[in-house]
């Protein structure tokens, strides 16, 4: 059984990826600092898979904690690195927080990998590396222009760090440039549960529909798009989770001198904010309490993926629809508060 280290494994994408790894026969070790996630995510993973991952409460941006971890751990076959702050708007307001957290944690992690001679890493990158694109859909050959936010810039810099390291060290990298993962596990037992007020579209929609959030804001209605709202490429989080297994297998089997690989992951079509809201209301027969607000700093007008390379080289593509995304997101929201209350009352989280 191969051991995979998943950083940020208690978070939204990380927890869903842990489920898919366990289902595929991997042993999972999770690192998380829990600043925007909950340890009881591991219990939810166990409810779905029957297996609870090993857990280390560590802040990877702390060099000593990270070194101590790697000094005590053995036989890790690869790393999937999710651990990072990820809110575009917040990064504009708190740039130093994002640079310090996202870059220091990567550097410390890579030092640990070199210490233990761990060769393979899947890096959680982002479509924000493309900035405001000149044309869509975007391929991996699109120019990397100046990022629109400090968050996007941390992903650009992180990729540069990884590319430079590949030139001198025995490290193989797949950088997965996600577009916008959404939805939740079809069991209704696992989904997005940020500690702070939701900064992503789907939890803002579901929480405003359930009443746990008074209202959500649509950030801008004067974009040059058909309905005036920004357009993004949304795809199901379970599809994204599975892509990490394909990427790890790709690194194990790849035979070439190239050690740094980039793949776009998305549905290959754009959905506007209002299209998402309208679809959510129609599928789930529930109203969303929203208000139109000003544009948000750091947001681009329109971006969606060309995932042809991932289809051809990884054998991956999306299998779930927008309707699946909004349906599973609402199922999770209806369970979320009772699940959180249960664990907070009984486990002291």
DSSP state of 60: T
Instruction: Supply the pLDDT for residue 93.
Output: 94
Predicted local distance difference test score (pLDDT) of residue 201: 94
pLDDT higher than 70, residue 346: no
The pair of structure tokens assigned to 25 is 């026969």
Domains contained in the chain, CATH given: 3-347 (3.40.50.720)
Whole-model pTM over 0.85:
yes
The model's pLDDT over 315-329, given as tens digits with 9 standing for 90+, comes to 999 999 999 999 999
Which of 33, 339, 290 has its CA nearest to residue 185? 339
Maximum distance among all alpha carbons in the chain? 56
Region 216-245 average pLDDT: 97
Is residue 151 part of the annotated active site? The answer reads yes
225-247 mean pLDDT: 97
Residue 317 has a pLDDT of 94
* Confidence class for position 345, pLDDT limits 50, 70, 90: low
- Positive/negative CA dihedral, 55, 60, 65, 66: positive
pLDDT at 349 over 50: no
Name the least confident of 84-88, 110-114, 188-192, 290-294.
Answer: 84-88
CA dihedral 312, 316, 319, 324 (to 10 degrees): -130
Quick one: how many helices (H) and strands (E) in the chain? Answer: 11, 13
**Residue 103 scores a pLDDT above 50:** yes
Tell me which of 26, 151, 271, 304 is the catalytic residue. 151
Residue 180 has pLDDT above 80, yes or no: yes
Long-range contacts of 225-229 (CB under 8 A, 24+ apart): 225/272, 225/301, 225/302, 226/272, 227/272, 227/274, 227/275, 228/274, 229/272, 229/273, 229/274
pLDDT in tens, 22-71: 999 999 999 999 999 999 999 999 999 999 999 999 999 999 999 999 99
């Amino acid at each position: 059984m191969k051991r995979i280290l998943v950083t940020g494994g208690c978070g939204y994408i990380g927890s869903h990826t842990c489920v898919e790894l366990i289902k595929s026969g991997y042993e999972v070790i999770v690192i998380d600092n829990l600043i925007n996630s909950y340890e009881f995510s591991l219990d939810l993973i166990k409810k779905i898979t029957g297996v609870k991952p090993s857990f280390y409460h560590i802040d990877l941006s702390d060099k000593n904690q990270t070194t101590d971890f790697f000094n005590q751990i053995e036989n890790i076959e690869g790393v999937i690195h999710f651990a990072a702050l990820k809110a575009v708007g917040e990064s504009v307001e708190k740039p130093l927080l994002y640079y310090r957290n996202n870059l220091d944690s990567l550097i410390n992690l890579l030092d640990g990998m070199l210490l233990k001679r761990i060769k393979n890493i899947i890096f959680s990158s982002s479509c924000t590396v493309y900035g405001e694109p000149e044309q869509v859909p975007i391929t991996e050959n699109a120019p990397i222009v100046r990022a629109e936010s400090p968050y996007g810039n941390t992903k650009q810099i992180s990729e540069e760090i990884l590319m430079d390291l590949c030139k001198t060290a025995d490290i193989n990298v797949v950088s997965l440039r996600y577009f916008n993962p959404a939805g939740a596990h079809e069991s209704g037992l696992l989904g997005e549960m940020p500690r702070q007020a939701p900064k992503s579209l789907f939890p803002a929609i579901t929480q405003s529909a359930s009443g746990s959030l008074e209202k959500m804001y649509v950030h801008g209605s004067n974009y040059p798009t058909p309905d005036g709202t920004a357009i993004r490429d949304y795809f199901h989080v379970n599809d994204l989770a599975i892509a990490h297994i394909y990427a790890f297998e790709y690194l194990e089997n790849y035979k070439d001198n190239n050690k740094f690989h980039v793949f776009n992951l998305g549905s290959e079509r754009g959905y506007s904010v209002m299209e998402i809201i309208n679809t959510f209301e129609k599928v789930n027969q529930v109203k969303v309490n929203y208000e139109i607000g000003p544009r948000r700093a750091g947001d681009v007008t329109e971006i969606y993926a060309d995932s042809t390379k991932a289809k051809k080289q990884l054998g991956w593509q999306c299998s779930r629809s927008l309707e699946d995304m909004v349906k599973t997101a609402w199922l999770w929201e209806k369970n979320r508060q009772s699940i959180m209350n249960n664990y907070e009352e009984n486990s002291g989280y």
